[in-house]
Amino acid sequence: MRTAEIVRKTRETDIRLSLDLDGTGKNSVDTGVGFLNHMLELFAVHSGADLQVKCVGDTEVDYHHSVEDVGICLGEAFCKALGDKRGIARFADRVIPMDECAAQVALDISGRPYLSFCCKLEGKIGTFDAELVEEFFRAFSSHAGVNLYMSLLRGGNLHHEAEALFKAFAKCVQDAVKISSDKIPSSKGVL
C-alpha cells in the first residue's frame, strides 16, 4: 500500500494530511485557503492520488505559513508513501496548456531536493499571493526529495498560470510514481 499520513503541529499551523498514490483522485481538502484548496483538488484529480488535507493555520497573518506547511506535509507524505521507490518510473515531464497559458514541468524522484522555478508569479489571485505557488513547490521538493523544474512556456492570467503549473505537476507525479519494473531505478541501487 503506497499510502502515508502526516500530522504536523506548530505555533503557526495544525495539519493532518493523508495520501494514497494508487487512488482514484478522491479528495477532501480544507486548508483554510480557498485557492490552495482549488489547486490541491485538481492535483488529486489529475494525478489520480487520493488526498485528504485539513489545515488550521494563522491565516490572520497571511497565507504564507499555511501554504508552505501544507507543501511540507505533502512532500513528507509523498516520500513516506513511496518507501524504497522500487519499480517506479522515477522521471516524468509534461507540457500542459490552459487557455492562453502553457506550463512545462519535469521531475526526478531522485531522493535529492531541488526546485528550479522559472516563472514570475506576482500579484493577487483573489486574496491569494501568487508568489506562494513557488513557496509551495519549494516546500514540496525539499521534503519529498524531488528535483522539480517548472516553467511557463506562455504566461497570461495568473489563475491560469498557477493552474497549468499544478496540472502539469500532477501529471508528472502520476507518470513518475507508476510501477514500471521490479528494480530500484538507479545505477547506485538506492534512491
CB of 114 to Mn ion, least distance (A): 28
Q: Which is nearer to Mn ion, 45 or 56 (CB)?
A: 45
- d(Cα 130, Cα 78) in Å, to the nearest integer? 24
Q: Which is nearer to Mn ion, 108 or 163 (CB)?
A: 163
- d(Cα 64, Cα 78) in Å, to the nearest integer? 21
The site for Mn ion, by CB under 5 A, has a size of: 1
CB of 30 to Mn ion, least distance (A): 18
Residues 144-173 binding Mn ion (CB under 5 A) are: 163
DSSP 34-46: HHHHHHHHHHHHH
Q: Which is nearer to Mn ion, 3 or 157 (CB)?
A: 157
The answer to whether 149 and 107 have CB atoms below 8 angstroms apart is: yes
| 136-138-140-144 Cα dihedral, nearest 10 degrees | 180
Q: Which is nearer to Mn ion, 82 or 96 (CB)?
A: 96
- d(Cα 159, Cα 57) in Å, to the nearest integer? 23
CB of 160 to Mn ion, least distance (A): 8
The answer to whether 172 and 92 have CB atoms below 8 angstroms apart is: yes
CB of 41 to Mn ion, least distance (A): 10
- d(Cα 103, Cα 123) in Å, to the nearest integer? 18
CB of 166 to Mn ion, least distance (A): 9
Pull the grid cell for residue 102: 502553457
The answer to whether 31 and 55 have CB atoms below 8 angstroms apart is: yes
Closest residue (Cβ) to Mn ion?
A: 163
CB of 163 to Mn ion, least distance (A): 5
Q: Which is nearer to Mn ion, 135 or 163 (CB)?
A: 163
Q: Which is nearer to Mn ion, 163 or 175 (CB)?
A: 163
Distance, C-alpha 121 to centroid of its chain: 17
Residue ranges binding Mn ion (CB under 5 A):
163
